[in-house]
A = this chain, B = another copy of it.
């Protein structure tokens, strides 16, 4: 594409200023007090898409947060790319671990530090700017549609229904998504698989009020101890989930597949050092890459109960809570597994407490075929921009809506991710290197070029 690098160079400060404006809106989808911020983010992004050259842009209300849609149809007979992204972000706690304000982006050591800098404002915004470049330089080779939602971080509860309702409007040849990572700045990669997810909340009630742990301790079941026991019982010494049937639907990878998977560049020492742990731990018999790529997980995302303040308050608490998430692999159904976990917990809970298990979120795993033109186009785009072929990888993360797109719209997705593991998404000090931001804007138009040529 002509003038690509020059256009980015000439506009780099403006691109950043515009992104910062978006980041400053604290669009946290899981906290109801930020409902209006989601509309603010949608309005601003709508303006950016219209300025970039969209024919039209509309904000759709849902039962939850809004969805932004925009399009530019250059010729109905030409192929169409549907860009998916999300404007909502994760909560910022623990807030005291942030080195700068989460919603006031700051550049340090060549990286943008802010909530949403990578996930997904930073990455999705690259598409807006790549689109702008193609329109302004008259090089847009296909039709483009944008679908930017506000509920990705809470499991996209309203997007499926909306997609079904506007199926015709959303018709496209491929969905293009930047909401994943790459191996390193000099090792581009394309995510070809995503894990599914089931997420449950457990509430254990013991006595009807907090009790004096001296007067009652030893004679009344303690809900925190009971909950710890329930959680502990659900995995064994080999870190395998003990719930009967849990692994039944897992497609075991062949020896050859596993061999290929383990050929991806990976340094165990560097991995351990980056997160500062002495030993890695996971399901026996699998490598780290396999444990996150092709095996399900079983993690507490939160647990709380009793006294959590300063000092030594003694109490036998009435309640204990946990948030439990299990990442699932292709062929495991999230609803089936969610119900299996719920039933199992209710079965093993002792009669001395009451247990309530509530499913909060779920999504299916996804596998992207690597033979389709869009995948080949993405490969070529990365090769041209980075000077080397991208590696196909299975990610441990989940974007539940991707498998839903396949099912509801009948359209495959290409996951062109530009994030790095060190971006600390979902964590304090989330960041996104300026290199990746600008390199993404440079790579995306090349995808369009190769995709148009191949179709």
Contact = CB atoms under 8 A, between A and B. Distances in A.
Interface of A: 30-32, 90-91, 93-94, 97, 153-155, 181, 195, 197, 199, 201, 206-222, 224-225, 227-229, 231-233, 235, 275-283, 288, 291-292, 295-317, 320-323, 325, 327, 350-354, 360-361, 395-398, 421, 424-429
Given A93-B309, A303-B320, A210 B428 contact: yes
A422 to B, nearest CB: 10
Q: Copy number of this protein in the oligomer?
A: 2
Q: Which of A199, A296, A308, A351 is packed against the most chain B CB atoms within 10 Å?
A: A308
Contacts of A218: 282-283, 291-292, 295-299, 327, 396
A229 B288 CA distance: 22
A351 B295 CA distance: 22
A187 B306 CA distance: 32
A155 B312 contact: yes
Contacts of A210: 94, 426-428
A232 B309 CA distance: 23
Contacts of A312: 30, 154-155, 199, 201, 301, 323, 325, 360-361
Given A30-B313, A321-B308, A428-B210, A275 B220 contact: yes
Contacts of A361: 312
Interface of A is mostly: loop
| Residue of A153, A276, A307 with highest tally of chain B CB at under 10 A | A307
Contacts of A323: 306-308, 312-313
A325 B396 contact: no
Given A154-B312, A360-B311, A303 B304 contact: yes
Given A31-B309, A229-B232, A277-B206, A300 B155 contact: no
A325 B218 CA distance: 11
Interface centre among A32, A282, A296 (most CB of B within 10 A): A282
Contact of A232 (B232, B303, B396): B232
A361 B314 CA distance: 10
A18 B414 CA distance: 74
Contacts of A291: 218-219
A20 to B, nearest CB: 24
Contacts of A229: 228, 231-232, 235
Contacts of A354: 278
A316 B277 CA distance: 14
Contacts of A315: 301-302, 426-427
**CB-CB nearest 4 A-B residue pairs:** A214-B397, A218-B297, A232-B232, A302-B306
A14 to B, nearest CB: 31
5 contacts: A215-B395, A218-B295, A218-B396, A220-B277, A278-B351
A358 to B, nearest CB: 10
Given A225-B232, A303-B320, 18 more contacts: A210-B426, A213-B301, A218-B282, A218-B297, A222-B299, A224-B300, A232-B232, A232-B233, A278-B351, A278-B354, A280-B352, A281-B350, A300-B306, A301-B315, A302-B307, A304-B305, A313-B426, A314-B398
B212 A397 contact: yes
